[in-house]
Amino acid sequence: MALWIWYRRTGPTAGLQITALALVWGGAAGNLWDRLRMSRGVVDFIDVGLGGTRFWVFNVADAAITIGAVVLALILSRPHPGSGTS
């Protein structure tokens, strides 16, 4: 619900913020769909590593949530024009 309210309060010229919100929302919806559809829950299928070193195993929905969240964090960390902060 918070993402929907945030989206509704976002102006039409804030394309990057809208895209980031869509990534988070879409990733969460994808993971929810997998949990409802499959008895095993969400299937992580992307396994990245180099030699014997393995990184986290994830899926496309996880990647979308992470990218969207990082972009939103960067947007929120920047001062907004007209807010009185420099």
For residue 83, pLDDT over 60 is answered with no
- Of the listed 30, 34, 62, 67, which one is catalytic? 62
Measure the CA–CA gap between 86 and 84, rounded to whole angstroms.
Answer: 7
Query: Domain segments of the chain: what residues?
Result: 15-45+53-62
Question: Is 44 assigned a catalytic role?
Answer: yes
Q: How far is CA 12 from CA 15, 18, 22, in A?
A: 7, 8, 14
On whether the pTM is more than 0.75, the answer is no
Cβ(27)–Cβ(64) below 8 Å: yes
- Of the listed 35, 44, 49, 70, which one is catalytic? 44
pLDDT, residue 57, reads: 77
CA angle 44, 4, 30 (to 5 degrees): 15
Express each pLDDT in 15-48 by its tens digit: 899 999 999 999 999 888 888 888 877 777 777 7
